[in-house]
Chains A and B, each alone.
Chain A
Amino acid sequence: MIRIHVGREAIDLTVEMMLAEGAAGTGAVATFTGLVRPDDGVATLELEHYPGATEAALRRVAEDAAARWSLGAATIVHRVGPMAPGERIVFVAASAPHRAAALEACAYLIDRLKTDAPFWKRETRDGEARWVEARDGDAAAAARWEA
């Protein structure tokens, strides 16, 4: 099962975990949750995406992971629009028969998402908005999965 969702609503972990754990053959689920960091002065974080292209890119990442680790499910849920510190931006989950595949696939999902999916963050601090710059480390993290 591939589950891709991009939306403005809050990410419901109960629903997402139920779907991830319910996938056929699942004995292990590894998840990653990304939050708006509450401690570095950001008042609002706003996420923009490229409707259609973003979902297609996420689907490719999830399908690649599902094929590479024989996953029962690969989940990517990403929020867009304005969000407050502490809120969830992204949730990914890899459902597999055993933990090694689930853990590796989970890292792959978030690493590839960072470089392959068109999203842009704009943060507001002290009343001033600025676009977040891409980090070199993100490209390096994604590159380690190229085999």
Chain B
Amino acid sequence: MALDILYFAWVRERMGVAQERVEPAAEVTTVAMLVDWLAARDADSGEALADRARLRAAVDQAFVGMDASIVGAREVALFPPVTGG
């Protein structure tokens, strides 16, 4: 199923796009698996997403852990730890 991926801050800069639509395989069911799947597509994506410890995620605009499910999700965002205020 089509999934919109949004990137923010240095993740966006390293990916070279702010947003993309992907169709991951059905067995990709968690955020962590999605990141692995995105990173495995090509060398640039792999490099951009290499620093897994500094990646945070939101599924359908809610902050989640990397083990969260993406089944049925429409939008996943990947970004560094937040630094507002």
Q: How far is the CA of A34 from the CA of B83 in the complex (A)?
A: 13
Tell me whether A121 and B10 are in contact (CB under 8 A): no
Q: Is B80 a contact of A118 with CB atoms below 8 Å?
A: no
Q: Which stretch in A13-21, A66-74, A96-104, A107-115 binds the other chain?
A: A107-115
Within 8 Å of chain A (Cβ to Cβ): is B49? no
| CB–CB B6/A50 < 8 A | yes
Beta-carbon contact of A110 and B85 below 8 Å: yes
Please measure, in the bound complex, the distance between the C-alpha atom of A96 and the C-alpha atom of B81, giving whole angstroms: 32
Select which of B9, B61, B62, B85 is within 8 A of A122 by beta carbon: B9
| A90 touching B84, Cβ below 8 Å | yes
Distance between Cα atoms of A48 and B10 in the complex (Å):
11
Verify A120–B84 contact, CB threshold 8 A. Answer: yes
Contact present for B83 and A50 (CB under 8 Å): no
Q: Which residues of A, 24-78, contact B by the 8 Å Cβ criterion?
A: 34, 47-50, 52-53, 56-57, 78
B85 near A89: Cβ-Cβ < 8 Å: yes
- A23 is an interface residue with CB less than 8 A from chain B: no
The A-B contact count (CB < 8 A) is 68
Please indicate the chain A residues that have their CB under 8 angstroms from the CB of B81 in the complex.
133-134
Residue of B8, B10, B62, B81 most packed against chain A (CB within 10 A):
B81
Query: Which A residues are in CB contact (< 8 Å) with B9?
Result: 48, 120, 122, 131
Q: Note all chain A residues with C-beta closer than 8 A to B82.
A: 114-120, 134
A147 within 8 A of B: no
**B61→A119 contact, CB < 8 A:** no
Which residues of chain A are near B61, meaning CB under 8 Å?
A: 50, 52-53, 56
Q: List 27 A-B contacts (CB under 8 A).
A: A47-B84, A48-B9, A50-B6, A50-B61, A50-B79, A52-B61, A53-B58, A53-B61, A89-B85, A90-B85, A113-B84, A113-B85, A114-B85, A116-B63, A116-B82, A117-B82, A117-B84, A119-B82, A119-B83, A120-B9, A120-B84, A131-B10, A131-B83, A132-B83, A134-B81, A134-B82, A138-B85
0/1 interface trace, chain B 31-67, chain A, CB 8 Å (1 if under): 0000000000000000000000000001001110000
Tell me the complex Cα distance, A132–B58, Å.
20
